[in-house]
């Protein structure tokens, strides 16, 4: 290679260096450049944080869906248990009535065979006693006959009011249907006639 060629190559390299060399920046430009670099770093950090938050949101949504599914399954399970309990309670009541039905049938058959008036009332009384015992034993249910008591709308249902000699106003003088209660709870109010 000749010196002429070497000089040309060196000159070309210097020209390329001049074009690619970073221009000198003013103080204001340097400040802006560093601010831009800081902002780019913050943007990268915010994007990273946003990605983390999106992952957390997705995880929370998934957890919420699982909780909702568990709640729905629990709700269905409670409904099934409730239905099963009601069926069991109904079966228990019906099973308890079967012996009473048997005794009513026996009483009817006995009345047909023995036409005496005493036998009829005795058989019916035995069956009524058995029904009342069953209600009291299974559910603590008892009847109440409020004749002579003061009218109480929580326990009694007035069907009529009549004047009654020797009775002050608001006293029960006749009972159409006895009431039934379980403890302090009224199952059926007694239907009564009240004095005026």
- Residues 114 and 146 placed together within one structural domain of the fold: no
Residue at 3 is within a domain = no
- Residues 146 and 106 placed together within one structural domain of the fold: no
Instruction: Look at 17 and 185; give whichever has higher pLDDT.
Output: 185
Neighbours of 188 (CB within 10 A): 14
Name the domain count of the chain.
2
- Residues 129 and 146 placed together within one structural domain of the fold: no
Range of the domain at 72: 41-139
Q: Dump pLDDT digits (tens) for 39-95.
A: 999 999 999 999 999 999 999 999 999 999 999 999 999 999 999 998 888 777 767
- Residues 131 and 47 placed together within one structural domain of the fold: yes
């Amino acid at each position: 290679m000749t010196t002429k060629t070497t000089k040309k190559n060196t000159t070309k390299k210097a020209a390329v260096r001049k074009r690619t060399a970073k221009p000198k920046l003013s103080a204001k430009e340097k400040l802006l450049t560093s601010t831009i670099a800081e902002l780019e770093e913050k943007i990268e950090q915010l994007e990273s944080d946003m990605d983390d938050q999106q992952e957390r949101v997705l995880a929370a949504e998934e957890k919420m869906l699982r909780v909702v599914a568990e709640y729905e399954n629990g709700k269905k399970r409670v409904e099934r248990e409730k239905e099963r309990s009601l069926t069991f309670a109904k079966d228990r009541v019906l099973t308890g009535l079967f012996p009473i039905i048997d005794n009513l049938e026996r009483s009817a058959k006995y009345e047909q065979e023995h036409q005496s008036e005493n036998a009829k009332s005795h058989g019916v009384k035995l069956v009524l006693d058995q029904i009342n015992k069953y209600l009291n034993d299974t559910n603590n249910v008892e009847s109440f006959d409020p004749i002579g008591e003061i009218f109480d709308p929580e326990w009694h249902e007035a069907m009529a009011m009549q004047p009654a000699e020797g009775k002050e106003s608001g006293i029960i003088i006749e009972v159409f249907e006895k009431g039934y209660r379980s403890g302090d709870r009224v199952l059926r109010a007694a239907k009564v006639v009240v004095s005026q």
